[in-house]
Structure 1
Amino acid sequence: MGIEWLKPGVFFGSMLYALIGVAVFWVCFLIVDKLTPYDLWSELVEKRNTALAIVVGAMCLAIGLIVAAAIHG
């Protein structure tokens, strides 16, 4: 493979896709947060709702996989 990934075009393309992926993930998370009937941050941090933390973690993994698959093609 060599050092082809260090070429400026490849490197900046990877950075661009990473930023796009993070932005899409964040937008999806905000949409899910707005769809839930309660404040996720309050439930997770203040009330320490472990079950909700597991569900939100699984949701984050699922959205991440979908975004990665969409970017990868």
Structure 2
Amino acid sequence: MEYLAAVQLTEMISTIVYTILGVGLMGLVWKVIDWITPFPIMKEIEQDQNMALAVLIGMLFISIAIIIAAVIVS
């Protein structure tokens, strides 16, 4: 029974660590995207209501999240 509790504890800890790692990588990706674009992304989306850019950034984050999840699982 103690073995089962230890396994569940390690799974919980690894889940927390991988969650923090994934969120950190997504933040890093956002900083890189913001750094390489020649215009301010947040201004374009919020003030200029650029829906195409918002959809593009959203799709980019979804694809990067899938890649990060696949790397973490493997």
TM-score (norm 1): 0.86
Q: CA deviation at 1:61?
A: 0.6
Aligned length: 70
Taking every aligned residue pair, what percent have the same amino acid on both sides? Answer: 24
Q: CA deviation at 1:66?
A: 1.0
Whole-Å separation in 2 of the counterparts to 1:62 and 1:33: 17
1:68 paired with 2:53, answer: no
Aligned AA (1:27): L
Aligned AA (1:13): S
Structure 2 unaligned spans of 5+: none
TM-score (norm 2): 0.85
Aligned AA (1:34): W
CA RMSD between the two structures:
1.8
Corresponding residue for 1:14? 15
